[in-house]
Amino acid sequence: MNKPIFIDFGCGPNTKYLTRYRKKGYYVISVDRSEQDLYENSDIKDISYYELVSDEISFFDITDPSKKTNYLADVWMCSAVMEHIEPNQIDPFLSGIKNSCKKGSRGVIYIDLTDHFGGFDHRVNPEKYNHFIKNAYEEIEWFDIIERHFEIEEWWRRFKSDISPEGFVKVRGPKNQFQISNSGNCVALSFYVFV
């Protein structure tokens, strides 16, 4: 392959990053467990649409260590996926990401810590979200999990805020410094990592 490789792990119907990296000249790969997962929460149920924005679409269970993409990622993204993974499948899932990445590649793991309706009801009533939100880990647990698999370059926490015009405040954490704690009201985490 004479192009750098970008992989979006679990992109579903969100083609924003695939489109962005394709415009930058990357060979882009979309990875999902199944075609059904690609269409979930989307009005577009036609594979040809996704083929327009992807150079390659791979359907496989990323937790299976015998499976990987045809090309290894130079740059990658896993956005709003981890909260939907069963807790006992998180480590195999992250290992599966590494299995499809070049050593030294950089990636971003974005985790939505809310119930996807703006609150944290999934922590109080997990049985209501079992099919959708699979875990309710907070910041410190996610930091420990991600650090087991990747070198964390930096991390960001996002909080709701009435004082910000955007409605959110971001807090940045420096590389390799353990300055993260559970706040109970953090709505999202981003980890910038190396393989």
Q: State the pTM of this model.
A: 0.92
Rounded Cα distance between 18 and 168, Å, is 26
Mean of pLDDT values over 11-19: 89
Structure token pair of residue 53: 């924005």
What is the distance between the terminal CA atoms of the chain, rounded to a whole angstrom?
A: 20
Cα atoms in the 13 Å half-sphere on the side-chain side of 137: 20
Assign 3-class secondary structure to 28-83.
EEEEECCHHHHHCCCCCCCHHHHHHHCCEEEECCCCCCCCCCCCCEEEEEEECCHH
CA 166, 182, 191, 9 dihedral sign is negative
User: Distance between CA atoms of 150 and 191, rounded to whole angstroms?
Assistant: 10
pLDDT above 80 (res 162): no
Band (pLDDT 50/70/90 cuts) for residue 175 is low
Largest CA-CA distance found in the chain, in angstroms, rounded? 50
Higher pLDDT, 44 or 72: 72
Mean pLDDT of the chain: 90
| pLDDT attached to residue 177 | 55
Angle at 88 between CA 107 and CA 192, to 5 degrees: 15
- pLDDT at residue 176 greater than cutoff 60: no
Give the pLDDT of residue 178: 59
Q: How confident is the model at residue 12 (pLDDT cuts 50, 70, 90)?
A: confident
Q: How far is CA 79 from CA 1, 3, 74, in A?
A: 25, 23, 17
Structure tokens of 101?
């990445």
- Burial classification of residue 37, based on how many CB atoms lie within 10 Å of its CB (0-12 exposed, 13-18 middle, 19 or more buried): middle
The CA angle 115-174-176, to the nearest 5 degrees, is 95
Residues 80-90: what's their mean pLDDT? 94
In order of 6, 47, 57, the CA distances from 71 in angstroms are 9, 21, 12
- Highest-confidence segment of 18-32, 40-54, 124-138, 161-175: 18-32
